[in-house]
Amino acid sequence: MTDNIAFIGGGNMARSLIGGLVAQGRDPATIRVAEPVSPLRDALHADFGVAVFEQGAQAVDGAATWVLATKPQVLRPVCESLVAQAQATRPLVVSIAAGITSAQLERWLGGDIAIVRTMPNTPALLGAGVTGLYASRRVDTAGRTFADALLSAAGKTVWIDDEAQMDAVTAVSGSGPAYVFLLAEAMVDAGIKEGLPPEAARTLALQTVFGAARMLIESDVDATELRRRVTSPNGTTQAAIETFEAGGFRALAAHAIHAARVRGQELSAAND
């Protein structure tokens, strides 16, 4: 067995991880990618110099680590097509598919397979993501270290001890960028309604989101304290915050994240 790593699926998230691995110094010749869409396959080879294949069975040949990067809806037949190779080589399997449990993956691959289940989010495409990871009982220290290094190429990592919490990870961070996009969209629309030119409203809203995110990450205090510091008594910010609170903003956010978590459970059941 070599130290080759095989990606099953060559979409955006796989591409970001491959780019991160190459940037970290991994030899592109050790990276193999299965991607059925010819233009995507050709682009991966042209951009990174990795070996590309149409079929998963070709890509995993000789690979010690498999990264499952297909859509959740097609992951079961993909895994079942690779059972013989999985059983023969016992690879470390890293999955980035939402809503698919490690037990499902292990069963679909024939059993007795080390699985690391992960949930990255789309800012990983910029190296600014965050990924929740869970390791099944068969994953050793070396496997955890490798998985962490792989996903660290896309941003921060957070390990979860209880796999049941992975649906909450998906609800908070996996789906989370869309919540911020929705807030930004609403701020732009509101600015336009208040009389700002569209481009001015967009620049003001987006740069505000960006700057606030940097303050949250780089400050030594939490979100509650940062909010308190910019909310002057009886000022404009307080008027806005009180309106948010009166409208049930916190409860709505909690309901939305709960709905996303429940949907993750439903997706797991639907794909079993």
pLDDT in tens, 229-268: 999 999 999 999 999 999 999 999 999 999 999 998 888 7
Order of strands across the sheet that contains 114-119 = 51-53, 31-34, 4-8, 63-68, 92-95, 114-119, 129-135, 155-159
For every residue of 192-249, DSSP letters joined together read: HHTT--HHHHHHHHHHHHHHHHHHHHHSSS-HHHHHHHT--TTSHHHHHHHHHHHTTH
What average pLDDT does this structure show over 2-25? Answer: 90
Average pLDDT over the chain, rounded to an integer: 94
Residue 271 has a pLDDT of: 77
If asked whether residues 10 and 61 sit together in one domain, one would say: yes
Rounded CA separation 230/10 (Å): 44
If asked whether residues 149 and 228 sit together in one domain, one would say: no
If asked whether residues 164 and 181 sit together in one domain, one would say: no
If asked whether residues 9 and 134 sit together in one domain, one would say: yes
Q: What is the pLDDT of residues 78-125, one digit of tens each?
A: 999 999 999 999 999 999 988 899 999 999 999 999 999 999 999 988
- What's the pLDDT band for 1 if we cut at 50, 70, 90? very low
Place of tokens 């990264």: 67
Is the pLDDT at 65 greater than 60, yes or no? yes
Q: What is the pLDDT of residues 16-26, one digit of tens each?
A: 899 988 988 99
Is the pLDDT at 40 greater than 90, yes or no? yes
If asked whether residues 199 and 112 sit together in one domain, one would say: no
* Domain endpoint, select from 136, 169, 202: 169
- Distance set, CA 27 to CA 4, 59, 92, 107, 248 (Å): 10, 16, 19, 32, 52
What average pLDDT does this structure show over 51-76? Answer: 94
If asked whether residues 96 and 164 sit together in one domain, one would say: yes
Residue pair 155/177 in contact (Cβ under 8 Å)? The answer is no
Rounded CA separation 253/129 (Å): 21
- What's the pLDDT band for 202 if we cut at 50, 70, 90? very high
Listed in order, strand segments (DSSP E) in 35-159 are 51-53, 63-68, 92-95, 114-119, 129-135, 155-159
Place of tokens 């030119």: 197
Quote the domain boundaries for residue 90. Answer: 4-169
- What's the pLDDT band for 134 if we cut at 50, 70, 90? very high
The structural domain count of the chain equals 2
CA dihedral for 183, 152, 36, 76, sign (positive or negative): negative
If asked whether residues 85 and 199 sit together in one domain, one would say: no
Q: In 90-140, which ranges are continuous DSSP H helix?
A: 102-108
If asked whether residues 148 and 56 sit together in one domain, one would say: yes
- pTM of this structure: 0.90
What average pLDDT does this structure show over 24-47? Answer: 95
